[in-house]
Structure 1
Amino acid sequence: MLSRTLLSLLLLSCFFFAQAQKPNYKKGCLIYTLGKDTTAIGNFELKGYDFSITVADLTGAVTVSKLKGSFFPNGELQTVEGNMYKPVAGKDSQLLYTYKLYYDSSSTFIETRRNNTATTRKYPVKVMAANSLGGYALVYMPALLVNFAPGKNGDSLLSHHIVFNSARNFIIRKTGDRNFSIGSPVMGMFTLSLDKKGNLRAVDGIGTSWNIKGMAISPINMDSVIMANVTKDNASPHIPIANKLDSVQTIIGATAIKIRYSRPSVRGRVIFGEVVPYNRFWRTGADAATKLTLDQPLYFNGRELSAGEYSIFTIPSKNGWTIMFNKQANIWGTEYKAENDVLRVQMSVETLQETVELLTINVVQADKGGRIEVSWDNLKASVPFSTSL
C-alpha cells in the first residue's frame, strides 16, 4: 500500500506533467466568409507545441499556404517553416515564395525567399504573428493561439506582431467563460467563441483589417477543396476581392482639399450595424486610414481645422454619425487613437433610394463653403464646412 507521502508525490508529479503537456491536441477547419463570398478555407492542427496550417486563399485565383512550426510554452513562435504556391490543374504547382522563422539569442529572425532572392530580418523580441508568414494564414493563427489564453476572465497575454517591418503589440485576452479577443492594432481584434468542450466554434473578424467571419468545423480534405476551386477558376475566372484606392480633389474658395481613401464594396452584405458596427470607430474606408490634406483651414460650425494632414474616422450610430479628424495622418485604418483627435463634428444622415455599391466620398460646394459626403450602401452622411469665419 502506498504511503500518503508517496501518493501525494505521485499526484503532484501527474499535475506538473499535465501542465507541461498543455496545450492539448487541437485540430479543425476554419471557413472564412466576406458577405456571400468564401475568402479562405483551411485546416489547423496543434499537438503539444507543434502546429501546422494549410490554407486555400480564395480572394482571387487560388493560392495555398502550407506551414508548420512550434510554439514556446506561452504561445510565442519558436520556429516556422512554409511556402505559398499557386496550384495548377494537371501541372506542377507554381511556387510563389518560401519563408522561415526562428528564435535565437534574444531575437526573432524571419527569412523570406522569392525568385531565388532571400531576405532576412531580425527583430529583438519574441512574436506570436507575422504578416510575412503565409499571407492569409495570419488569420488562422488565432485558432491556435486561443489554446494559450489566460484562464481568468479579463486577464491578458501580451506579445508582438511583425507587420510593416516592425514589432507591434499583440494581445490575447479572455473576455468571457468561452470567449476570447486576439489580435493587434494593425490586424484588428478577432473575437473567438468556443463550445462547451473547448473546441473552436466561430471567429468574428468584423472591424478587423479583413472584416470577415469564420465558422469552425471538423478537418476536411484540403487537396480536394483546392483542386475543386482550381477547376472552378479555370471554367469561370474568379473576380478578385479588392478594395479600390481612390481620391477626390477640389478647390473651394481658395482652399485646396484632397481626400485619399480605399473603397470597399457592399458585396451582398449588411453594411451598417454589421460590417460597420454601430457606436464604434470606423476607418471610413478600407486598408490604410482615409487621409485628408488641406492647404488652408476649414471651419466646422465655427471651429477651425488648421491646414495640414489628418486621418478621417467616423462613429456611425442609429441616431447620427460623428466625424473625427485625427492628427495621426499616415496610419493603418485599425490604429485609431481617440486621444489624437483634433476635432469632432456631428454629421447628418439620410437614406438613399438606390444602393451605392462602392464606398464613395465626395467634397461638394455649398453655401459659404462645402460639404464632405460619405455614401455607401443605402446611407449618406454629410458634414458642412466653410472656408472662412
Structure 2
Amino acid sequence: MRNIVITIFIAAVFAACSTSDSNQTAFVTLLGSDTLAVEQFEKTDTSITANVILRSPETRFSTYLLKWDETGGIQEMARTDFPPSTGFAGEGAVVQTVVREGDSLMVQVTDDENPRSYKAPYQPGVLPFIDMVHWPFEIAFNNAVEAGQDTVNQPLLTGNRLSNFIIAAIEGDSMTIRHPFRGVMGGNVDENGNLEHLDAGLTTRKLKVDRVNDLDMDALSTRFASNPIGQLSGAASAEYSFKGTDFTIEFGSPQKRGRDLFGGIVPYGEVWRTGANRATHFSTSNDLMFGDLEVPAGEYTLFSIPESDGGMLIINSQTGQNGTSYDESRDLGRVPMEVTTRDDTVEAFTITIDETDEGGRINLIWGNTIYSSDFMID
C-alpha cells in the first residue's frame, strides 16, 4: 500500500508541474514500484546544475555543479549536500570537489570523518560516475551523438580511477551504454542525445529512468525527507546446527518491490547469482551428499539456474568473489532443484537451511516461490 500511495503522489506532482524552460528537465528513477531517485537539472553550453534526491540507503539531498572543458569532460565539479530536515532550502555544505589540473583530476572529499584528497587520471571527455544518478549519462549521450560515431568509449570517473563505458548507436532513437561489470542499459534519446528513457533491466541494478518536463522538488523534498528506501540489497547471514553439523549461509537480499521475479528479473534458463552483491557463500562442517554429488566439508559459493519446473543448484568451489564472477570451471557440481509455491509473499530474497528426516534442505525463497534441494549428511 505504501508504494501505491507514493506512486499516486509522484503522479500528482508531475501533473502539477507547469511547462519549464527548454534547458531544465528532470529524471525519475524507479526500482520496481519504489521511487529510488529524482533529479532536476538545467544545462547551459558549458555547464549543468542538478538537484538530486536519492533515497538509498538514507535520503540525501545534493546539488551538483559541473563545468566542462572543450572536450566535453570535467573542468571542475562540486557537490553540495543539504540536511534532509531543510532540503534544498537549507544551508548546504560542499562535500566533494573535482578540478582538472593538466592531465590529472584533483579530488577532495569532506563528506565523512575522514577527509581525503587524491589524484585521478584525466582523459578528454571524462565525466563523473554517480551511483544511481543519471544526469551524467545525459551529457555522455549528448557527446556521443555529437561525435557522430556508431560506438564511443566514454570514460567515467569512479573513485580514483577511470572506467570505460561503451556507448553504441543501435537504430533510430535507440542507444546502449555498457557498464564495465553490471551489464548493458538500453536508452531512448532524441536527435541531440537527450535521454528520454533508460532501461537497466538487464543489469544487476534493474532500474528504469524516465524523463519528465519538471518536478515540484519542494513537495518531493517534504515527502521523501524522512522516508528512505534503505539498502537496496542488504547483506544477510544465518547459522544452523543439526545432526552434528554446523552450517552457515551468507547472501545479498534484494527486495521484490512489486516486480515479476522468476521468469522476470531473474530469467529462466540462465545462471543467477542467487542473491545480490557478493556471491552467496555456504559452509558445512561435515561432508554432504546432494544425490550423487559429494560435497566435502568446507566453504563454497552457490549459484543457480531457475526454471519454471525446477532448475539446477550450482555448488562452486571458488570463494571470496562477487556474484557476477561465476567461473563454471570451478563447479563442484550441479544438483536438481524442486520448485513449490507458498500463499504469502516474501519481500526479501531469503535462503534457509532446514533439517529433514533424511538430512537437510537448502531453500531459496522469494515472492511466492521456493526452490529447494535436499542433501544427506555423511
TM-score, scaled relative to structure 1? 0.74
Q: Counterpart in 1 of 2:153?
A: 157
Please name the residue that 2:25 is paired with.
Answer: 28
Alignment size in residue pairs? 351
Secondary structure of 2:257's match? Answer: coil
Report % sequence identity.
26
Deviations along 1:141-168, whole A, 9 cap, x unmatched?
Answer: 2232223347565x452645525x6655
Does structure 2 conserve the Cα–Cα contact (< 8 Å) formed by 1:206 and 1:276? no
Letter in 2 for 1:162: T
**What is the match of residue 247 of structure 1?**
237
Which residue does 2:15 correspond to in 1?
A: none
For residues 29-178 of structure 1, the aligned pairs below 5 Å read 29-48=26-45, 50-59=47-56, 62-71=59-68, 77-89=74-86, 93=90, 95=92, 98-114=95-111, 118-124=115-121, 126=123, 128-131=127-130, 136-137=132-133, 139-149=134-144, 155=151, 157=153, 159=155, 162=158, 169-178=164-173
Residue of 330, 339, 350 corresponding to 1:360: 350
Unpaired runs of 5+ residues, structure 2, are 1-21
Q: 1:207 to 1:352 in 2, by over 3 A?
A: farther
Residue 194 (structure 1) aligns with: 189
Give the equivalent residue in structure 2 for 1:10: none
Specify the alignment match of 1:19 in structure 2. Answer: none
Cα 1:172–1:322 change in 2 (3 A) is farther
* 1:320 Cα deviation from its structure 2 partner: 3.6
The verdict on how the C-alpha distance between 1:251 and 1:51 changes in structure 2, with shifts beyond 3 A counting, is same
Match of 1:229 among 220, 229, 236: 220
Q: Within 2, Cα distance between the matches of 1:296 and 1:166?
A: 44
Decide whether aligned partners of structure 1 residues 145 and 198 sit closer, same or farther in structure 2, where only a CA change above 3 A counts: closer
Q: Give me the whole-angstrom Cα distance separating, in 2, the residues matched to 1:63 and 1:308.
A: 42
- Asked if 1:380 corresponds to 2:376, the answer is no
Q: Unaligned regions of 5+ residues in structure 1, if any?
A: 1-24
Residue type of the alignment partner of 2:227? H
1:370 to 360, 373, 376: 360
Aligned partner of 2:303 in structure 1 is 313
Matched, 1:336 2:331: no
Q: Map Cα deviations across residues 192-220 of structure 1 (whole Å, 9 max, x no partner).
A: 122567542211123545432111122x2
Once residues 158 and 196 of structure 1 are traced to their aligned partners in structure 2, the CA distance between those partners, rounded to angstroms, is: 19
Shift of 1:42: 0.7
Post-superposition offset of 1:30: 1.1
Name the residue aligned to 1:205: 200
Between the aligned partners of 1:47 and 1:352, the Cα distance in structure 2 is 54
Instruction: Report the Cα distance in structure 2 between the residues aligned to 1:347 and 1:260, rounded to whole angstroms.
Output: 19
- Kept in 2, the 8 Å contact 1:55–1:136? The answer is no
CA-to-aligned-CA distance 1:4-38 (integer Å, 9 cap, x gap): xxxxxxxxxxxxxxxxxxxxx97631111123322
Give the structure 2 partner of residue 302 of structure 1: 292
Q: 1:328-376: CA deviations, max 9, x gaps?
A: 533444x334456424444222222221222221112335532211111
Structure 1's 250 and 187: CA in aligned 2 closer, same or farther, altered over 3 A? Answer: same
